Amino acid sequence: MNIVKWAPIFVAVIVLGFFSSNISFAQFTPVDNYLLACGSSQNVTFLGQTYIPDSAQSSVSLKTRGNSIVATSNSTAPFPIYQSARIFTTTTSYRFDIEREGRHWVRLHFYPLRGQNLTSASITVVTDDFVLLHNFSFNTYNGSYLFKEYAINVTSNSLSITFIPGNNSVAFVNAIEVVSIPDNLISDQAVALSPYGPISGLSGLALETVYRLNMGGPLVTAQNDTLGRTWENDVKYLHVNSSAVNVSVSPSNIKYGASVSPEIAPNYVYATAETMGEANVANVNFNITWVFEVDPNFSYLVRVHFCDIVSKSLNSLIFNLYINTDIAIGSLDLSNQAGNLDVPYYRDFVAKTSADSNTLTVSVGPDTNTDLINAIMNGLEIMKMSNDVRSLTGTLPVDNLLVLPPKKNKTGIIIGSVVGAFAAMVFIGLCYFCLAARRSKEAQQGSSWLPLPLYGNSLTVTKMSTTSQKSGTASCITIGSSNLGRFFTFQEIMDATNKFDENLLLGVGGFGRVYKGTLEDGTRVAVKRGNPRSEQGLAEFRTEIEMLSKLRHRHLVSLIGYCDERSEMILVYEYMANGPLRSHLYGTDLPSLSWKQRLEICIGAARGLHYLHTGATQSIIHRDVKTTNILLDENFVAKVADFGLSKTGPALDQTHVSTAVKGSFGYLDPEYFRRQQLTEKSDVYSFGVVLMEVLCTRPALNPVLPREQVNIAEWAMAWQRKGMLEHIMDKNLAGKVNTASLKKFGETAEKCLAEHGVDRPSMGDVLWNLEYALQLEETSSALMEPDDNSTNHIPGIPLTPLEPFDNSVSMIEGGHSGTDDDAEDAATSAVFSQLVNPRGR
Residue 683 near residue 613 (C-beta atoms within 8 A) = yes
Count how many Cα atoms sit within 13 Å of the Cα of residue 617 in the half-sphere of its side chain.
2
- Cα torsion 759, 729, 764, 762 to 10°: value is -20
- Bridge partners, 179 (sequence order): 33, 105
Q: What values do phi and psi take at 676, rounded to 5?
A: 55, 30
Return d(Cα 818, Cα 784) in angstroms, integer: 35
- Degrees, nearest 5: CA angle 296-301-304: 125
Evaluate whether 591 touches 729 at the Cβ level (below 8 Å): no
Pick the closest to residue 66 from 86, 87, 89 (CA basis): 89
Are 64 and 405 a contacting pair, CB within 8 Å?
no
- CB 835 within 8 Å of CB 506: yes
Q: How open is the CA angle 133-139-143, to the nearest 5 degrees?
A: 80
Q: Which of 225, 295, 308, 624 is catalytic?
A: 624
Cβ neighbours for 123, distance < 8 A, ≥ 6 positions apart = 110, 133, 135, 136, 137, 163, 164, 165, 166, 171, 172, 173
What is the distance between the alpha carbons of residues 372 and 762, in angstroms, rounded to a whole number? 40
* Long-range contact set of residues 427-436: C-beta below 8 Å, sequence gap at least 24: none
Sheet holding 288-293, edge to edge: 288-293, 359-366, 318-323, 326-333
- With vertex at residue 617, the alpha carbon angle to CA 614 and CA 621, rounded to the nearest 5 degrees, is 50
* Helix, strand, coil percentages in the chain from 3-state DSSP, rounded to 5: 25, 25, 45
Q: What's the length of the chain?
A: 841
Is there a catalytic annotation at residue 624?
A: yes
528 is annotated as contributing to ligand binding:
yes
Which of 640, 672, 666, 613 lies closest to 811, judged by CA?
613
Strands 505-508, 512-518: parallel, antiparallel or unpaired by DSSP? antiparallel
Q: Is 216 exposed, middle or buried (0-12, 13-18, 19+ CB in 10 A)?
A: buried
Using an 8 Å Cβ cutoff, are 619 and 613 in contact? yes
Q: What is the DSSP letter of 580?
A: B
Sign of the four-CA dihedral 115, 124, 160, 350: positive
d(CA 684, CA 671): 12
839-762-196 Cα angle (round to 5): 25
Q: Is the peptide bond before 53 cis (omega within 30 degrees of 0)?
A: no
Beta-sheet pairing, 512-518 with 524-530 = antiparallel
C-beta of residue 230 within 8 angstroms of C-beta of residue 15: no
Distance CA 818, CA 66 (A): 70
How is residue 304 annotated by DSSP? E
> Is the distance from CB of 570 to CB of 545 less than 8 angstroms?
no
| 712 Cβ neighbours under 8 A, 6+ residues apart | 666, 689, 692, 693, 696, 698, 699, 700, 701, 702
The 3-state secondary structure of 312-363, one letter per residue: CCCCCCEEEEEECCEEEEEEEEHHHHHCCCCCCEEEEEEEECCCCCCEEEEE
| Residue 204 one-letter amino acid | G
CA-based nearest residue to 30, from 138, 240, 183: 183
> Catalytic residue numbers?
624
Which residues does the annotation place in the binding site?
A: 528
Which residues does the annotation place in the binding site for ATP?
A: 528
